[in-house]
A = this chain, B = another copy of it.
Amino acid sequence: MTLKLETIASHLAGLEETLIYKLLDRAQFAGNPGAYRPGQSRFRPHEVSSLFELRLHHQEKLDTLFGRYLIPEERPFYLALPPPRRVPTQGETGLVIQDLETVNVTGPIRTDYLAMLPGLCGDGDDGQWGSSVEHDVICLQALSRRIHYGALYVGESKYREAPEKFAALVAAGDDSGLMAAITRAAVEETVLARVMAKVKAVQSVSDPALRRLVDPGVIVDFFRSTIIPLTKEGEIHYLYQRKPGV
């Protein structure tokens, strides 16, 4: 696999577009804070977990059967999921990685997503907890896919551009050197501008009588403060585990 940065960038832009649509779908429901509080799921028999946790865990137990987490960029939020019953067809990835779970930043993805929700949806309660957490799972899966795709494939393609330099930084344990080496400030600004334009364009064709519109700044800020930094954190995890010379 050639791992052309151009192809990777175009795929990332597609994943970002999907993510924007999913976040705007979630925003059609209220924040529904009770859906995220332990013990309030109203499951019978009683469950300690929140409705959100129950939904996410059940969905991942289903998805793992179908082999979702054998795809490099599909990293799960839960550990110890059952084994897959199916192996999806996949071409050669071009990645050099033994254990995909060494590049898993779903912990901070979940934390940051839940912290962003009140900005996206407000803190009201419309009673639609089930639909809300169903959309949360879709958003988290789209986030995990976008962030880990960037971490893995952008990480590998940057390594290939300067293998000696990255091998030396890794050997020296130089985190800030690695961060400097993978950061492309101009590309980040381009991404943020594209997200702003995309949210505005999508909402421009929505009927405000049917759909609640969102402040595009909320989504742009989420890209700036969470998606881009966690992608770079994942890239560094990837580079640390990558065997040099392969």
Question: In the assembled complex, which residues on chain B have CB atoms less than 8 Å from the CB atom of A25?
Answer: 18, 21
B205→A204 contact, CB < 8 A: yes
Chain A window 53-94, contacts with chain B (Cβ cutoff 8 Å), 1 for yes, 0 for no: 011001100100111100000000000000001111111000
Of A17, A21, A25, A85, most B-chain CB atoms within 10 Å: A85
Whole-angstrom distance between the Cβ of A114 and the nearest chain B Cβ: 19
Contacts A10-B209, A205-B204: A85 and B21 contacting too (C-beta < 8 A)?
Answer: no
Q: Does A211 contact B (CB under 8 A)?
A: yes
- Are A42 and B10 in touch, CB under 8 angstroms? no
Known: A43-B85, A85-B44. A211 touches B14 (CB 8 A): yes
Q: Which of B130, B134, B210 contacts A17 (CB 8 A)?
A: B210
Q: Which residues of B contact A130 (CB under 8 A)?
A: 66-68, 86, 88
Q: Which A residues fall within an 8 A CB radius of B?
A: 10, 13-14, 17-18, 21, 25, 41-45, 51, 54-55, 58-59, 62, 65-68, 85-91, 127, 129-130, 134, 198, 201-202, 204-207, 209-211
CB pairs A–B below 8 angstroms (21 shown): A10-B210, A13-B207, A13-B210, A14-B210, A17-B207, A41-B86, A42-B86, A42-B87, A43-B85, A43-B86, A44-B85, A44-B86, A45-B85, A51-B86, A58-B62, A66-B130, A68-B130, A88-B129, A88-B130, A89-B127, A198-B205
Given pairs A67-B130, A202-B205, 16 additional interface contacts (CB within 8 A): A10-B209, A10-B210, A14-B211, A17-B207, A41-B86, A44-B85, A58-B62, A58-B66, A59-B62, A66-B134, A68-B130, A88-B129, A88-B130, A89-B127, A91-B127, A204-B205
